[in-house]
Amino acid sequence: MSNMDIDAYIVTGSDPHGSQYPLPSWHAREWISGFTGSTGMLVITQVAAGLWTDFRYWTQASEELAGRGIALHREGDVGVLPIHEWLTKELTHGARVGVDGRTLSGKTATEWEERFRDSSITLLMDVDLISGIWPGRPKRSSSPVYELSDVEAGESRSSRLKRLHQWLKNSNADTWVCVALDSLSWLLNVRGDDVLYNPVVAGFFVYSPQSAIWYTDEKRLSQPLIKSLNADGVHTAPYEDFFCGIEALPSSSQILVDMETITQGAFSHIPSHVTIRTGKDPVLWMKARKNPTEIQRTRIAMEKDGVAVVRFLMDLETKINSIDELEAASLLRARRSEISGFMSESFATIAAFGPHGAICHYQASPQSALSLESGANLFLIDSGAQWEEGTTDITRTVILGEATQRQKSDYTLALKGHIALARAKFPHGTRGYQLDTLARVALWEAGIDFGHGAGHGVGHRLSVHEGPQKFSPAPVDVAIDPGMIISNEPGVYREGEWGIRIENLLLCREDYTNQFGTFLFFETLTLAPYDRKLIAIELLSKEEITWIDNYHAELYRRLEPMLESMEISWLKNRTSALQ
């Protein structure tokens, strides 16, 4: 920084693909700070350093940053300044701030430029201070890439490219640049293991009237895959040639750009002589609406996942006082791995006992792992899997003994919000932030709230977190459309005591159309019982009790054929009618 006359440097925690879970070679924020959360930005000045992250990681960040000289800035907390305001306050007039624009979205880059300009601060977006100081930096994966068949994907590569072409035509454009790994993998029907838990392949893609070029490591592609790609008009080029490929676009090009998904690094290489049209990222939206094959295969994945979770919950009852949080997570993974089609976990399992449950994205370590002890103690386990049929994400909270009335109340209020969201019927065009409220009303009435969104999008054999759909208080202008899969996960977190979260995945479906428009509803996909010992029936309405009974009856009907006799008996008891 001194050599380049830079007063502050920002490490975004992302990569040249705008990833929430970056490629291993781009874990720079973790390498410098020790913070391992999936969201957060690190700012380093000549005299100080700070990390900005949201509610989910406040406790985790506080522990991981301890003794490192890095201050924690709790985004969203009262009095906490956003990065640009903090830097404006800390730096002098005319200061220079550096960031690697390859790791920054075009939208954020534009916003920062405008805000810093008002303070006469220069933002330099082509500064890479990491490459020269990181010894042993990981390399990109060299493992083989595999292709999904049309039977698995429900749509051919050529069909998806034709839909992309039509979307561009409708947008008065003919060229599209893709940096997002999950969008690229979905469009080309390919998968890999380049990012832990996310079966994506590193690469970029440029679609134009002249060609469709995938910039990737060609050595990883088999001859049959290359032949298949070429047959659909897709050709390959080295990963490192991507920026040169953008710069070589002809002057007649009309590029469709979504500033929220394209990185500043890619955007800055678009030639000035081409026409840029801003709009929605076409593949992001196509991918979010699952086709009938993706939906049906996801249902199969949910049945397999449900069997694994049932077996784990049975195991848990016999292993209280003999395992810790890490061992519990390993036990669940083992149960999944026994079932055909299991590929990997879809994220690092959150196994949190007692007060650790209040740490929203807690990760146990050998030093921190608590033993699971019987008594009035809650155990929260948030986990998911990548199956050959689809991607799962489920959270269950159970009591390892006898629950207190306060624990029952917290659990049941979260369950009421969970049910309200699951039972929602709403007109087409309804936004996620409007539905997010349903998950909170029962909690609000008791003076309780939770600091994260009520749900996130989930991919099909892809990222467990995908957009653009979400349930969140933030007024994101994205409608919840038929075919979208989204989580439903309200919670209660009492610091130093316990955490409660209940999570199922929902599928948005069309219900009926009348004179008032088309109405939609949710099908609950996840199949696993709630902990009856934590349900305070007196706090539930008749309709809520009926919904729980119907849900339990359905999951019993679907899982029973896959279970052994003792497992069937256990599940029958756990899913019998509450009344």
Q: Read off the pLDDT of residues 232-247 as tens digits, 9 standing for 90 and up.
A: 999 999 999 999 999 9
Q: Looking at the whole model, is its pTM more than 0.85?
A: yes
Which position has the token pair 């019993």? 556
Q: Is the pLDDT of residue 423 over 90?
A: yes
pLDDT at 376: 81
Give the integer Cα–Cα distance in Å for 200 and 178.
14
pLDDT at 183: 96
Give the integer Cα–Cα distance in Å for 534 and 405.
9
Report, as an integer, the average pLDDT of 247-269. 95
pLDDT at 106: 94
Give the integer Cα–Cα distance in Å for 474 and 436.
9
- Residue 119 pLDDT level (bands cut at 50, 70, 90): confident
453-500: pLDDT as tens digits: 999 999 999 999 999 999 999 999 999 999 999 999 999 999 999 999
Report, as an integer, the average pLDDT of 524-546. 98
50-64: pLDDT as tens digits: 999 988 888 889 989
Report, as an integer, the average pLDDT of 575-579. 93
The class of domain 292-568 in CATH terms is: alpha beta
Report, as an integer, the average pLDDT of 253-277. 95
- Residue 117 pLDDT level (bands cut at 50, 70, 90): confident
- Residues contacting 566, CB < 8 A, separation 6+: none
Give the integer Cα–Cα distance in Å for 465 and 1.
35
- Residue 220 pLDDT level (bands cut at 50, 70, 90): very high
Q: What are the two backbone dihedrals, phi and then psi, of residue 280, each rounded to the nearest 5 degrees?
A: -75, 145
Report, as an integer, the average pLDDT of 348-371. 93
Secondary structure of 351-419 as H, E, C letters? EEEHHHHHCCCCCCCCCCCCECCCCCCEEEEEECEEECCCECCEEEEEECCCCCHHHHHHHHHHHHHHH
Give the integer Cα–Cα distance in Å for 35 and 31.
8
pLDDT mean across residues, the chain? 95
pLDDT at 512: 95
Q: Is the pLDDT of residue 20 over 90?
A: no
pLDDT at 326: 97
Residue 550 in tokens: 């119907």
pLDDT at 76: 86
115 or 422, which is more confident:
422
pLDDT at 87: 93
User: Is-same-fold flag (8-124; 292-568)?
Assistant: no
205-216: pLDDT as tens digits: 999 988 999 999
pLDDT at 56: 82
Which position has the token pair 């405008």? 114
pLDDT at 41: 96
pLDDT at 67: 93
Report, as an integer, the average pLDDT of 94-113. 94
Q: Is the pLDDT of residue 305 over 90?
A: yes
* Domain segments of the chain as ranges: 8-124, 146-288, 292-568
- Residue 37 pLDDT level (bands cut at 50, 70, 90): confident
- Residue 452 pLDDT level (bands cut at 50, 70, 90): very high
- Residues contacting 322, CB < 8 A, separation 6+: none
Q: What is the CATH number of domain 146-288?
A: 3.40.350.10
Give the integer Cα–Cα distance in Å for 421 and 282.
28
pLDDT at 33: 96
130-185: pLDDT as tens digits: 998 999 999 999 999 999 999 999 999 999 999 999 999 999 999 999 999 999 99
**Residue 263 amino acid letter:** T
pLDDT at 55: 85
**In contact, 39 and 56? CB cutoff 8 Å:** yes
Which position has the token pair 């309780």? 448
Report the CATH fold assignment for 8-124.
Creatine Amidinohydrolase; Chain A, domain 1 (3.40.350)
Give the integer Cα–Cα distance in Å for 76 and 82.
9
pLDDT at 513: 95
